[in-house]
């Protein structure tokens, strides 16, 4: 392994430290994993294949109505919860 330095802003460093703590891993391990995912051969192509694989996943659902109706119901439910939480 080769050692290198990377300069991070305070917010990114805090985020990485918190995530590392939650996962019981080191900041270095998280950075290595992120770099491996970002720069592995075929990474962008694999991501596009994944997006295409899930495209239209709910296309044949009949229990939720149209997309517009579904989103409006979700928003309406959220508004009700906020009123009751007060």
- H or E stretch at 34: helix 27-39
Q: For the chain, how many structural domains are there in total?
A: 1
In a domain, 1, yes or no: no
Please list, residue by residue across 51-77, b when 16 or more beta carbons sit within 10 angstroms of its beta carbon and e when fewer do: eeeeeeeeeeeeeeeeeeeeeeeeeee
20 in Cβ contact with 30 (< 8 Å) = yes
pLDDT band at 12 (very low <50, low <70, confident <90, very high): very high
Q: What is the pTM of this model?
A: 0.49
Mean pLDDT of 41-65: 82
In a domain, 70, yes or no: yes
Q: Which domain holds residue 81?
A: 10-85
pLDDT at 82: 54
In a domain, 16, yes or no: yes
In a domain, 36, yes or no: yes
């Amino acid at each position: 392994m080769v050692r290198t330095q990377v300069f991070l802003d305070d917010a990114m460093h805090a985020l990485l430290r918190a995530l590392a703590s939650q996962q019981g891993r080191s900041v270095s391990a998280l950075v290595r994993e992120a770099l491996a995912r970002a720069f592995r051969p075929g990474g962008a192509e694999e991501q596009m294949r994944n997006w295409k694989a899930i495209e239209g996943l709910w296309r044949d659902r009949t229990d939720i109505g149209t997309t517009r109706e579904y989103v409006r119901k979700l928003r309406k439910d959220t508004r009700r919860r906020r009123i009751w939480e007060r």
